[in-house]
Structure formats: C-alpha cells, structure tokens
C-alpha cells in the first residue's frame, strides 16, 4: 500500500500545521493514504523524569488521544529512529515523509540522519520551518551575514511579512484516507502509558483547547497592560503561552495573527509582546549560527573563565535557600510549578553567575530539567546573556543587585511571601533583607535567621567586586 508519512514532533496539534497541511495535499493529489507517526526517542524516554519531561509526555498522551478521536491515528514508535522508519518500510510503500524540521541541536542532527536514510531509499522528504515566525536563515544583514545584536535584528524582523495561518483539510482525517495499524503502535503505546504512570504530578494546562483559551484570555484581559505588568511577578501579567509553544499545541502564527485581529486602543502592550516573540526567533537564529553555544561561551574572551565549583552553594541556589528572598522565591516557584516568571529567570541566573560565580552551564542544565516551557535556544541565550558571555549580553560590570531587584519588582513582598512561607509574617520593612531584622522582630514573626530561614550565603558587594575582577582577568588573558 502506498502511503505518505506525517511525522509529528514538537507540533502537537491538527490546526495551523504546515507539514500536516502539505502532507494531506500531497496524499490527496496522488491518492495515497496518510500514515501519522510520533517517534518516542529513547534518549528522552530513558531520562530520569522531572517536571520538563513529565509535562511534555502528558501533552503527548493528550495529543495522541485527541488525534485518534479525530480519526487521525497517530502511531507511536519507541526505538532507534531509523529502525522505526524501517519497520514502516517493511510493511508499506512510503512515497513521501513530511515533517516540521528542527534547525538546531539534537533535533537537527536527527533530521539530517533520517533525511539521508530516506533519500537513499528513494523516498521524497519534505521539511518545513514551522516553530518560529522566521527561521534561522530568514533575517540576515544585507551582506548575508547574521545579526549579533538584537535591536537591528528586530528592526529588520518587524518589516518582514509574517506567514499567514495555515489551513488543514480536516475532512481528509477519516478511516478511508488514514492508516490505522495498531500492531505497529503497540510497543510505543505501552511505553507512553508506562511513562505517564511514573509521573509525579498531573498537569492540567495542556492541549490545544487550553492553549487557545489561554491566548484569547490574554488578549482580552492582559495584553493592553502587558508592558506595565510583565515585570511584576506577584501579578498575573504575562501570557503563560510559552508552555504551549514548547509543545506546539498552538502555532506561533496563530498567536501572532490573533494579536492583530482587532484594533487595540493602546498598542504599546501588543508591541512589547511582539518583541518577545522576536527575541524567541533571535536566540533560535543565534543558536543555528553558534551550534556549540550550549557548551561554549559565544564571547571568546570568556571561554577560559575560572568558575566557582562550590557544590554547597549550587545546592542552595537549586533549593531556593540562598538567604536572598527574591532569588529563593524564584527558585522555589520553578521547583514547584516547572515555571518561573521571566524577571526572576534573569535575577536567578545573574545571582548564580555573578554572586556565586558558578558556571552558567550548570544553571542552564538545571532549568532544562525543571522548566515545562524549556526552549533550548532561549534558555542558553538567556543564561549567556545573564553571565555576560554571550552575544548582545549585559556588560559584565552591570550586575543585578538581588535586594534592589526585590524592592523594585516586589515592593510589598507579596511574591516572596507566596513562595517562601518562612517569611510570610515578616513586616514589609524587613522582607527584602530579613538578615537586618532585630532579634525581637525575628521572634515576633516566627522567623529566626540561621534557623527558620538562612542568613545570606554571600556578601553581594564583595561578590560583585570579585566578579568584575574575574571577568577583567579573563579578558586580559
């Protein structure tokens, strides 16, 4: 039987999906049947389950269920990816394989390997850029080189026309046009069920319906004041769309065009949010041009940095026990929810790399395990930015003061109290620097420093001076 394969990955939806739309059109034109596939990569399934993986696999289980209910039977394969395709080839005559490509990281290496394998067998491979508004090679300078600074990139990005929402012919999704071969999916189904059973918590903010309702609520209730509220962690001022973009349960095109469907009285909130979408494209472009940036600093001057290897301090950062309330609140939110407010991502990354002087790679890897919206390019880019070792990074001598950040963005301590309950009854006067609290106030609030809540693990001013000298030393070498 002649078939066209649609290979799903970080695009768990049936609407506004380029590869799916193209595969349906191709299958209809040539009168082939459609074979839907998701490959469970042992690289990820054999990892220890943490919040990131648990969230992703729960999204996958939800997507497979919904797709099958919509009469598109998604087959699950758990094996080496080439062996998975060979299993299909052994049964069916594959005429073409359609998928939305990865342009960076391990996904890119897998795509190249599979493409080479399929093309050697005479199978047509059709790859599409679907995860970003503009791909890694779309926005370049006039001389063809890539941008390294965000502002000129954004100016060029903003002028480029954005691809419209893609229509998918859902009428093609029925048993007449689709392959449903449960025997091929049996082992994959069993593996996914086993993973879901091992998950330590259940996520409810998953799936395309939730993604669409989250988008519409954001536009109707928070977009016009986004520029004012997005930096205040105690209020619900952000979009909360990143987790859906991570799994592809909503398309980035759907998000972009929904922002422009109605005229807003104030455009500043929309423009501020659109700039965040451009940052997402920018870091993706940077990663494509610096494929080693997960392991190496982009700024060559700092590739020989002598980082602190104090495991006790790193453990304190991970647990949210640094003695700096805003930092601890951010890390505890991450550990509890698998998500952290963006302002806190900057504050905690700066604290790790500038106050603790710990290698940014350790922080990036920890976020990778915990963040349900983990985006490799953006996370690496953000950590290199905070550590002052990346492209267009904050200068190394500009170091976030965690106490100043706390007073500015959580003035009443509402966010701190939510995630650091030891400080819940502390007076606003001491909430940002509890270590300055007199002993009678400590006893009154039920928070004894060094016992109930840790004393500051470092002196910020001393570490700031040390960080600057270490960066200057690295530059000279």
Contact present, 193 and 86 (Cβ < 8 Å): no
SS3 call for 386? helix
Q: Which residues are annotated as a binding site for FAD?
A: 226, 238-242, 273, 276-283, 373-375
Q: How does 301-340 read in b/e, with b if 16+ C-beta sit within 10 Å?
A: ebeebeebeeeebbebbbebbbbbbbbbbbbbbbbeebbb
Instruction: Please list, in sequence order, all residues whose beta carbon lies within 8 angstroms of the beta carbon of residue 44, skipping any fewer than 6 positions away.
Output: 53, 56
Return the structure tokens found at 212: 């669409």
CA distance 364 to 382: 9
CA distance 20 to 335: 36
Instruction: Report the Cα–Cα distance between both ends of the chain, in Å, rounded.
Output: 64
User: Half-sphere exposure of residue 263, counting CA atoms within 13 Å on the CB side?
Assistant: 1
Handedness of CA 313, 315, 318, 323 (dihedral sign): negative
Rounding to the nearest 10 degrees, give the CA dihedral for residues 130, 132, 134, 138.
Answer: -70
CA distance 6 to 30: 15
CA distances to 70, 136, 140, 202, 252 from 66, in Å: 6, 31, 39, 18, 21
CA distance 63 to 12: 6
SS3 call for 445? helix
Return the structure tokens found at 232: 């205040």
SS3 call for 75? strand
Q: Which residues are annotated as a binding site?
A: 226, 238-242, 273, 276-283, 373-375
Where would I find the H helices in 356-425?
360-370, 376-386, 402-409, 414-419
CA distance 245 to 258: 14
Phi first, then psi: what are they for 24, rounded to 5°? -60, -45
Closest CA to 247 of 3, 6, 13: 13
Contact present, 342 and 238 (Cβ < 8 Å): yes
Q: How does 87-120 read in b/e, with b if 16+ C-beta sit within 10 Å?
A: ebeeebebbbbbbbbbbbeebbebbeebbebbee
SS3 call for 33? strand
């Amino acid at each position: 039987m002649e078939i066209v394969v649609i290979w799903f990955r970080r695009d768990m939806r049936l609407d506004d999906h380029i590869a799916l739309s193209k595969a349906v059109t191709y299958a209809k034109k040539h009168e082939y049947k459609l074979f839907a596939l998701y490959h469970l990569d042992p690289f990820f399934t054999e990892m220890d389950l943490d919040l990131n993986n648990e969230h992703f696999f729960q999204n996958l289980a939800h997507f497979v269920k919904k797709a099958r209910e919509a009469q598109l039977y998604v087959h699950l394969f758990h094996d080496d990816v080439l062996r998975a395709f060979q299993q299909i080839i052994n049964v069916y005559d594959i005429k073409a394989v359609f998928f939305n490509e990865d342009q960076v990281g391990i996904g890119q290496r897998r795509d190249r390997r599979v493409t080479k394998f399929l093309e050697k067998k005479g199978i047509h491979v059709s790859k599409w850029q679907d995860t970003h508004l503009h791909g890694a090679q779309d926005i370049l300078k006039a001389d063809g080189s890539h941008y390294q600074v965000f502002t000129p990139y954004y100016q060029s990005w903003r002028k480029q026309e954005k691809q419209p929402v893609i229509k998918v012919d859902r009428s093609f999704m029925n048993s007449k046009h689709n392959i449903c071969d449960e025997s091929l999916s049996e082992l994959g189904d069993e593996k996914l069920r086993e993973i879901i059973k091992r998950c330590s918590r259940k996520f409810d903010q998953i799936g395309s319906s939730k993604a669409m309702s989250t988008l519409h609520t954001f536009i109707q209730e928070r977009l016009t004041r986004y520029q004012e509220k997005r930096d205040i962690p105690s209020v619900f001022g952000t979009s909360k769309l990143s987790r859906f973009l991570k799994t592809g349960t909503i398309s980035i095109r759907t998000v972009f065009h929904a922002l422009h469907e109605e005229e807003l009285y104030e455009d500043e909130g929309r423009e501020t949010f659109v700039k965040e979408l451009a940052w997402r494209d920018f870091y993706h472009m940077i990663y494509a041009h610096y494929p080693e940036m997960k392991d190496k600093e982009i700024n060559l001057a700092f590739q020989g940095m002598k980082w602190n290897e104090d495991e006790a301090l790193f453990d304190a950062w991970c647990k949210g026990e640094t003695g700096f309330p805003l930092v601890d609140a951010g890390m505890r939110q991450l550990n509890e929810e698998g998500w952290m407010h963006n302002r806190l991502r900057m504050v905690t990354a700066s604290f790790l790399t500038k106050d603790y002087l710990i290698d940014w790679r350790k922080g990036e890897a920890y976020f990778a395990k915990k963040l349900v919206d983990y985006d490799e390019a953006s996370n690496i880019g953000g950590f290199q930015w905070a550590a002052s070792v990346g492209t267009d990074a904050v200068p190394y001598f500009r170091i976030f003061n965690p106490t100043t950040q706390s007073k500015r963005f959580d003035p009443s301590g509402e966010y701190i109290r939510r995630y650091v309950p030891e400080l819940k009854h502390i007076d606003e006067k001491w909430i940002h620097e509890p270590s300055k609290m007199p002993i009678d106030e400590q006893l009154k609030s039920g928070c004894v420093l060094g016992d109930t809540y840790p004393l500051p693990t470092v002196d910020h001013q001393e570490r700031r001076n040390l960080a600057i000298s270490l960066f200057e030393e690295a530059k000279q070498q």
